Structure formats: structure tokens, C-alpha cells
Amino acid sequence: METVGGLGQGKVRALIEKATNSTEAEVEPRLLKAIKSVVRYSDSELRLAAQTLMDLMKRDHSQVRYLTLLIIDQLFMRSKLFRTLLVENLDQLLSLSVGFRRNLPLPAPPAVASVLRSKAIEFLEKWNDSFGIHYRQIRLGFDYLKNTLRFQFPNIQANAAQERREREMRSKEILQSKFEILKGNLSSIKEEIQSTLDEIGECLEIVRTEQETMPPGPLDDEDFVEFRPSELRQIRLDSLREGEKIHENSENKVVFDALRELYKLLVTKHLVSVQEWISVLIRVEVPDNRSRDSVLKEFIDIQNRLQSVKKKCVESGYALPDTTKREKDEEEDFWEEGKIESIKLESSNALNKLNENFAVASTSGQTKNDSPESSKGKAKCDQSQSCKGADSSSLRSKLLAEGPVVKWGNFLNNWDSNRVVLANQRGLELESHWGRVDYNAVIPAEKIAELNIRATIYEEEQVEIQPCHAPLHKGGLCQRRDLRVCPFHGPVIPRDDEGNPINKSTSTSDTTLDSDLIEQLAKQAVKNVRNRENEEANKRKLDKQSQKRAKLAKIREHNEAVLRDAALASTSNSVFAGENVKATTGGRLARNKKKSLASMLHKKESTKDRLAQRLLNTRARDATIRLLTLGEDANYREAFPNQW
Amino acid sequence: MWREIRDREAGKTRPNSFTNRIKSNRIADLQLSNCKDIVSPHRGSINSLQVDLTEGRYLLSGASDASAACFDIQRATDYEGRGLIAKHKCLFAVDKQHESGHKFAISSAIWYPVDTGLFITGSYDHYIKVWDTNTTQAVVNFKMPGKVYRTAMSPLATSHMLIAAGTEDVQVRLCDIASGAFAHTLSGHRDGVMTVEWSTSSEFVLITGGCDGAIRFWDIRRAGCFRVLDQSRSQLGRRPPILACSATNKVSISKALSVGQNLPSKPRVHQKKPAAGNGIKQSPLGRTPAKGPLRQRLHPGMLSSQDRATAHYGAVTGLKITEDGMYLLSAGSDSRMRLWDVESGCNTLVNFETVRLQTSKAIQLATTQDSSLVFVPCMTAVKAFDVWSGMTSMTFRGHYEYVNCCWFNSQDQEIYTGGNDRQILVWSPSRLIANEMDTGPAEDQDNWSD
């Protein structure tokens, strides 16, 4: 190999040696990358690398072997030539890394050696899985370690299969439980959806009746516009149709709001949930398919109905996505960003209340008439709800009456449920995923709860800002509304009708106080301040002393601890080299030696240690001797029971 | 390769040399075969391997879990890895569960040399059994005085059907299949007999190697052994004159051997006129003028300086006679290999580069047909040595424990090795034409991600 040598020859050897000469648990990624890039473009370097790595594996130090093995794995998974080179000496590599030959145990730092062994076994399994088919040697080695020496392999693949099976089982269970739930409250779900649909229908009805009452616009004049170009006609027709549509005005605003809200409910809640149920029904495996199929059919019908209603809403243009509306609202709100709220807010409040009502109604069917300004449409809605609510049980209505009224939100869907949810089975079939989709992925119940935390928008309490009411020169009172300080009249204080402050004690009266008294007071104040200062100084001094004492105590304690550690570490043989070295060098010797490969092997032996060993040995020996003699005695007695 | 074929086509090369060249090329790149797996049913170390001598198709293996198995090495039973790996499962196996199976380890399993209808197993349970292959029933049973170490049948026998058996006992016994009894009892060894080998040039000559370190030559037509190999008697290298012409070669061998066989008359001649001018033919024997008469006088088993000669220090663990019957290779527990000139009985002083050999068990050696290479199990590896120089030409590493036996299949140029790790490995020449299946599942290629 040396004869092939070019200019850069031997670079890889230096790199590998540098990479393996470290006490870290990983090969330094930069060096590894350098090795890979050198080896990638030159076969001779690769051969040299294989040679060097095998040489390093023979090094009498587990750490070196461990790092070497890591590099070997990296190259092994990548280069075919490297594989063929290495596989020829696989038995040697295995005996050096696994240490299965009794006459060739793994070398010194035992902690690293055990890591090395487990890693080697893991790698062998990996290699066998990916390349075993091409290399008899790998198969042989794997087979030998597994079937003859009975090594425990991590068995990654089988474990993964097992896990997958378990996951599938779990998802099946989830589906099953979901199906059970669905069967349980199928009627209530249907009822709920039906009620929403009914409400929408009624709202639409109302709007339509209004439309009919409206004066009919100019009717079809197609007779005499036929000669016009078709485009123009189209435009005209469109505009006509647009004109036929009812536009929101102050009268039917409430109805529209309700309609919008219902539409939102329909799209965001019912449609999605129905789709989800359908997907559950499709996936679930139950013993009796008939009931499932019938339920599925029903759901599909419901879905179709929902779709048609949605379409109707969209067509009629009432239920335009309310984002535009909200934007408008925000625009309107813009100029009064301060704390003052006008009537606008009140109206929106009213709207909110209305929504609330609807939400509650749609979930419970309870009647709650707390919005006095509800219009005709609203009343109608309520009526429909109330007649439905009548047949629900009285206890329930009582409870509902007691319960707080909460704004409707997504969180209500999952109220008090601790079901896990399948993440990728939402009824939406997304085909254009990039990458694989795990259909069994699950969102745990806690996460769902977290996601569905009830969100409330902070609404400020309405504060009536008092006007300044200070008397003006030209007569009248200042009408400025400032929170605390009026720029012209100072702090805003309560005043009576003429503008005089109501509370007199503070500002106006103290000018009349006695000057003597003031002086006295001032003196007293100065004295007080002095006293306080003195006290503080004393205290500070004391503090400093105690702190010093505490510091000293701490240092002493630390020293003691370190010494104790050192003593422990140097006596106990069970402590592995790594920590050991650190403790001893840090504790007993003041200078901090750098950790090196040699130091890993090194084990300090003190006189104490030796003494302990000796004591232990003699004691153990004595004990065994005693035991043996005892045993002999007993045997003797058993054998010759008559003799003593 | 193609040029050779063209030369052959044009008649430039002889058919013989052509095949020899191709064969030696193939042998030179033997390696562990990836696409031929023998699925070993054995749960103990493999002690013996042999491919039948008639078809060269059925491999017989004997293992220390008292089982013997037979494999078809030409037709795989099933395939793995999308046809990449051919698995050869055993056609049948006889083990302890068999009603007449052996109780202890089978140390040797050999084919009946004439056809594959019979095979013979020798076991540590003191029995040698002859089996009918087709019914897998034991047909003849021989009770031996001790553990059987090795059995052998002469590949060229036409006038006898004798199984030579080396056992724990000092005597070598010849079991006659025809009569079901012991035909001969050959005594001479002072310790158990580890290995026995029939001559490949004469059907009556048997060679045995014992734990006492002696290698003895027996002519089964007369009592006593006619030669004991002595490691201190040596000659340097091969004898030159015999290689004069390949055609006359065989004649001279047979003549030389007939000399050995007609010993009863010869020694008498020697005795009468000792140190007289011998013919050129007798020259190798003539070098030991004292040997003939002494042995003549001595009763087999009596003491003599010749009779005490040893071929190895320690036991002789392996014997292999070359295909032409002119040379004998022996392996000993002293970790030495020796090459003996059969004709002169001299050690040829070839230094084989064995590092260490297994000492506790008999090992089975193999040679190529043209006896240029010998395959020797050296601990966990099998080494191929050049017979004439002793240089290592190849090392086959694959077993994880000691290798006990190897067999060279001269028909396919493959070797089969069996070891203590219960595996039977196939070493075959690498294929010249890359198989199209290689591009099958999970292609084995470079995979640099960065």
C-alpha cells in the first residue's frame, strides 16, 4: 500500500489516529467528515484506512477500539470496497470488538469496554440486516454470535415490527371506542345537526319573505333588449340578480348575524365532525357490518344535506365568509382605539350575546331570553328552540339554568372528553403529501385538551371617563376628558357643580398651616432620616461579617467534601476509571491534569487501598477456612455418627 | 481466458493442459462462497466430510452430536434472498433419535467407494456401522474394542471390501463388509491409532498414524508392518529421475510399489547378499539395507530400533496420500506437517508454514488432484500450502472455532470445511460472469451520503 503512495498518501492515517485519540464518547464530527471525504475519492486511501483501522482495533485500550469501531461503522455503511476489505477479517474484528474469545478479553477501561461490546453487537445486527445477503461472512458471524454464543441482539427490526403492530392495535381500539360513542349518541348528534339546519332554513325563510314584501324591481325586459350584445346582457342580468338579493340593513341585521353564525357553526363544526365520523365508520372494523353500514349511509345523507344547505347559503350570498365583515369592524374600530367605547361596542356586545344564545341553544335547546332587543327573526328562532327544549327533561333544564353561560367555541366540542384522537384520519384525504403519512399517529388527550383551551378575548370594562369640570375663565366648566391629569387644570379631582373641588383637605388648605410647625416637622424629619441611616450602616456591617463567616464555612465544607470524595474514590475499586481519575486529580492534587487515554487506564492505589485489600483477603481466607473445616466436621459426624 | 479457449479451439493447446490450466486458475481464486450455503443440521462439531467418489455430488458429514447427514451439493433445495443464496439442506440425517443411531460422537463418515448405496460411520460409542443410503438403515454393525477415531476404505479395491479402523486400541482392525467380521488385526502401534489411509496406488497397502507418533505401512496380505517412517531419515526434496516422462511415470510407480509388495521374496535376497549391488530400481530400498532382514526376523510388535522410529513428536493427527500415491503428507500434534516420499520412506524436509495445529483431535487433510496444494485445518482457519515448497498460498478464514476437516471436490474445484462451530462452509471459485441476480435486492453498492 505504501508503494501506491501519492502526494496526499497517509493523510487518512493521520486523520484516523487523531480522531481516535480522544476521550470523548463520539468521534469528532469534523474529523469524521474529513476522513469520509478523503476516503471517498481515493481507493488507495480507503485501503490504507481499512488497514489503519484494523491496526487500531488491536490497540490495548477500549476507548481507542470504541472510536475506531464508530469510524468503521461509518465507512462500512458507505463503501463497498471497505466492506469487502473488512469482511475478510470479520472474525478478528468481532473478537476484538465483542471480545467473545476467552483468551482475548476486551482491554482496560471496563466501562468503555462494555459500551464497546454492546455497540459492536448492535452494529453487527445492522450490518447483517443491510448487507448480510451479500456477505456470507457477516451472516456467519451473526449466526455464530446469536446461535452458538447466545448473545442478546437488540433485535431492532423485530422490535419495530412489534411496535407497529401495537400501534395498529391501539388505533383500532380507538376507532372501536369512537364507534361505540357514536352509536351511543347518534340520535343527539343527528338532532343537533337537524336543529341547526332547521334554524338556517327558518332564517332563510324570513329573509325570503322580507324580499317578497320588498317592491319588486324592474322585471324582465328581455323583449326589447334582445339585440344587445350578449356580454352586456350578461352583465345586466348579473346586476339584476344582485339587485334581487337582499342586502343587509339595520332592520334585518340581526337575522343576518344569526344566519352568519349558524353558517359558521355548520361549516366549522358539523360538516367537519360529520366527515370525521364518516372516516371513522369507514375504517372501523366491527363484527356486525349491517348496523355500521346503515349508520354510514345516514351520515352520508346528512353530509349531503349539509353540503346542499351550505351551497344554498353561499349562493344566496348571505353567508359570505364573515372575514370581510370583521375587517370592516376593525376598520371602524380603528380610530377609537383608546378606552372609550361607543355605541358600536354595545351593539357588538348585543351581537355577542345573541351568539351566545344561539350557541347554547344549538347545544342544549334551552331558551334564554336575555336580549331584549331581539328582533322578529330572533324571536322566531327562540320559539323554535323553546318548543324543542320543552321535551327535554326538567332536571337537565334546571342544571342548564344554573350553569354559566359560555360563549360558544371549539373547546365545547371536546368538553370533558379524554379521548385520544387520530391525527391523520380527519375525513380529509390528502393525496399529495410529500413523504409518508402515518395513519396511526395519535394525538393524546392531554394535547387535545391543551389545544382546546378556552380562549376568551379580553374585553375592557367600560369606564366612563369623568370630565375635568374645572371652572373656566370664560365661565362654564372644562369638558376635557382625561384620565388623571388635565393639561390645563392639573389632576382631575371630583368637583361639585360649580367646579369647586369636593375634597378640601389636600391642596388648598395646607398653605394656611403654621410655619413653626413646619420647621419642627422638618427637623423631626431630618432626625428621623439620620437615625435610620445610622441603623442601616450598623446593620450592613453586621451583615458583612456574617457573610464572611458563612463564606469561610462554605470553603471548609467544600474542602472536606472533596477530601472525602478523594478518599472514597481511591479506596473503592468499583469506581470506574473515568470518574475516578477526575476525582483524585481534582481532589488530592491541586493541579488539574488533562484527561487523556493513559489516565483512563491509570488507577491510583494508595496505602490505604493496599491495606484494605490485604485485610479483606486475610479475613476472607479465614472465613473460608472456617467454613471448610465446619463442613468437614459435619461430614465426619454424619459419616461416623457413633464416634466423637 | 478467452485467448486460452481460442488456443484450444485452434488446437494449439492439448485438452489436458487446457483443463489443468483452467482448474488451477479456478483453484487460485477460491473464496468463501456467498451463494452456496450448506444448512448444517448438526448440533455438534463437524468431524468428517466426504464427497462421494462416483458422482461427486453427495456430501456426507459426521458430527459429534452423533449425527451424520448427506447433502446434494449440486442442486439446492431452496433459495433465499430472491434466488441469490442457494440453500442446501440435508437430504437425510441419522442421529440419536434413529433406532440404530450412534450414541456418541461420530468421528468419521465415509462413502462406500464403489457407489453411493452404502456409507460407513465410526463413532466414539465403539461401533462402526454400515448404512444403506436409500433406506437409512444400519445393515452391518462392528463392535470395536474402543472409540473409533477414523475409518477408511480403499478407493481402488477390487478384490476386497475392507474397512480399516483406527481406534483407541493399539490394534488396527480391518472389518469385512462381506462377512461382517474382522478380517485382520494389525498390531504394531503402541498407542491408539488416530488416522488410517489406504494407498492410492495399491489396494493392499494401508498406512496408519498413531498417538505414539509412528506412521506404519501395512501390506494386508502379510503379517506385520513393512515400514515405519522415521523423521530423522531424510532426503532433500523430490526424487528427480522419476519425472522423466509422464507416460513411464505410472509404470515406474507400479513397479516401485510392486517391489514393495513383493517384499517377502526381496528381503531374503537382501539377507543372503547384504550390501550387494542392488538394481537401480531397488535403490530407494537399498538405502536401508538393515531394515529388511531385521523386520524379517522380528515378530511384529517386538522391539527394534526401526520399530521404534517416530514420524512426529506426539501423535499423528492427519494423513493424506497424494493422488498419484507417491507422497504422503502427515500432520502431527507437534504442529508440524511432513511430506514423505512413499518410495524411499524418507522425510523430504519440506518446511510447511503451519503456525499451530489442533492437537486433541484427528484432522482431515485434502489435496488437489495434481497434488500441488494441500489444505490443512490450522486452528480456526484452513490454509492451502504448496506441497513442494511448503509456502502458504491461501488462507481461508471463516470459521469461528477450530476447523476439523476439509474436503476438496476436484470436479467443481470447491472445498468444504467443517469445524467446531457446527458450520459446513463452501469455498468456491469466484464467478467469472457476474450473475445478473447480483443486481437484485438491496444492491450492494457504495452509498455515500456526504
Nearest chain A Cα distance for residue B58, angstroms: 22
Q: Do A133 and B445 lie within an 8 Å CB cutoff?
A: no
Give the pLDDT band (50/70/90) at residue A594.
Answer: low
Report the chain B residue with the minimal C-alpha distance to residue A32. Answer: B450
**ipTM attached to this prediction:** 0.79
Mean pLDDT (chain A, rounded):
73
Taking residue A194's Cβ as centre, other Cβ atoms within 10 Å add up to 13
Distance CA B421, CA B401 (A): 5
The pLDDT of residue B450 is: 60
Residues of chain B with Cβ-Cβ distance to A33 below 8 Å are 450
Q: What is the CA radius of gyration of chain A?
A: 44
The C-alpha of A11 sits at a distance from chain B's nearest C-alpha, in angstroms, of: 19
Averaged pLDDT score across all residues of chain B? 82
Beta-carbon contacts of A418 under 8 Å, excluding residues fewer than 6 positions away, are A445, A449
- On chain A, the residues whose CB falls within 8 A of the CB of B402 are none
DSSP H/E element including B354: none
Name the closest residue on chain B to residue A141, using Cα atoms.
Answer: B400
What confidence tier does A395 reach under pLDDT thresholds 50, 70, 90?
confident
pTM above 0.95, yes or no: no
pLDDT value for B420: 92
Q: Which residue of chain B has the CA closest to A91?
A: B400
Nearest-CB residue to B400 (from A77, A88, A144): A144
Which residues share a beta bridge with A577?
none
Inter-chain touch A136–B445, beta carbons under 8 Å: no
Average pLDDT value for residue range A90-112 = 88
Which residues of chain B neighbour A140 with C-beta distances below 8 Å? 398, 400, 423, 425
Confidence of residue B118 (pLDDT cuts 50, 70, 90): very high
Interchain CB distance below 8 Å, B400 and A89? no
Residue partners of A90: CB distance under 8 A and separation at least 6: A137, A138, A140, A141
What value does the mean pLDDT take over residues A617-629?
70
Q: Which residues of B touch A40 (CB under 8 A)?
A: 448
Q: Is the pLDDT of residue A330 over 50?
A: no
Mean pLDDT calculated for residue range A287-304: 82
Tens digit of pLDDT for each residue in B300-331? Answer: 544 566 778 899 999 999 999 999 899 999 99
Contacts of A91 in chain B (CB under 8 A): 380, 397-400
C-alpha cell at B194: 488416530
SS3 B150: strand
Reduced to 3 states (helix: H, G, I; strand: E, B; else coil), residue B110 is strand
pLDDT at A123 over 70: yes
Residues A23-49 have pLDDT tens digits of 888 888 899 999 988 888 888 989 999
Question: What does the CA dihedral A364, A370, A372, A373 come to, rounded to 10 degrees?
Answer: -60
Asked whether the beta carbons of residue B448 and residue A133 sit closer than 8 angstroms, the reply is: no
Number of residue pairs across A and B with CB atoms under 8 Å?
58
Q: Sort strands B85-88 and B36-38 into parallel, antiparallel or unpaired.
A: parallel
Tell me which residue of B201, B197, B229, B228 sits closest to B346, measured CA to CA.
B229
Of A417 and B179, which is predicted with more confidence? B179
Pairwise CB contact (< 8 Å): A144 & B447: no
**Strand stretches in A198-302, DSSP E:** none
> Which residue of A95, A128, A133, A148 to mutate against B (max B Cβ within 10 Å)?
A133
Q: Lowest mean pLDDT: which of A250-264, A500-514, B27-41, B80-94?
A: A500-514
Q: Taken in order B155, B158, B159, B160, is the CA torsion positive or negative?
A: positive
Q: Is the pLDDT assigned to residue A361 strictly greater than 50?
A: no
Residue percentage of chain A with pLDDT more than 90: 7
- What pLDDT is recorded for position A607? 73
What CA–CA distance (Å, rounded) separates B336 from B310? Answer: 13
Give which of A83, A178, A162 is closest to A128, Cα–Cα: A83
Residue B85 main-chain phi, psi, to 5 deg: -110, 120
pLDDT at A595 (0 to 100): 64
Residue B199: per-residue pLDDT: 94
pLDDT of A635: 65
CB contact under 8 A, B423 and A140: yes
Question: For B34, which of A37, A135, A144 is closest by C-beta distance?
Answer: A135
B400 close contact with A: CB closer than 8 A = yes
Interface residue B445 vs chain A (CB under 8 A): yes
User: Could you report the per-residue pLDDT of B223-257, keeping only the tens digit for each?
Assistant: 888 889 988 888 876 665 544 444 444 444 444 44
Alpha-carbon gap, residue A566 to B417, rounded angstroms: 57
The per-residue pLDDT for A569 is 56
What is residue A590's predicted lDDT score, i.e. its pLDDT?
43
b/e string for B184-203 if b means 16 or more Cβ within 10 A? bebbbbeebbbbbbbbbbbb
Where do we find the cell 440419536?
A: B96
| Spatial contact of B108 and B121, defined as CB atoms under 8 Å apart | yes
**A77: its cell numbers:** 455503511
Say whether B444 and A140 touch across the interface (CB within 8 A): no
pLDDT tens readout for residues B69-111: 999 999 988 888 777 888 999 999 998 999 899 999 999 999 9
- What number is the average pLDDT over the span B61-67? 94
Partner A contacted by B398 (CB < 8 A): yes
Rounded distance, CA A492 to CA A499, Å?
Answer: 11
Cα of first residue to Cα of last residue in chain A, in angstroms, is 80
Instruction: Please give the pLDDT value at position A519.
Output: 80
**Phi–psi pair at A190, nearest 5 degrees:** -60, -45
The secondary structure element, H or E, covering residue B108 is strand B106-111
Contact flag A80-B445 (C-beta cutoff 8 Å):
yes
**First-residue to last-residue Cα distance in chain B:** 40
Say whether A140 and B34 touch across the interface (CB within 8 A): no
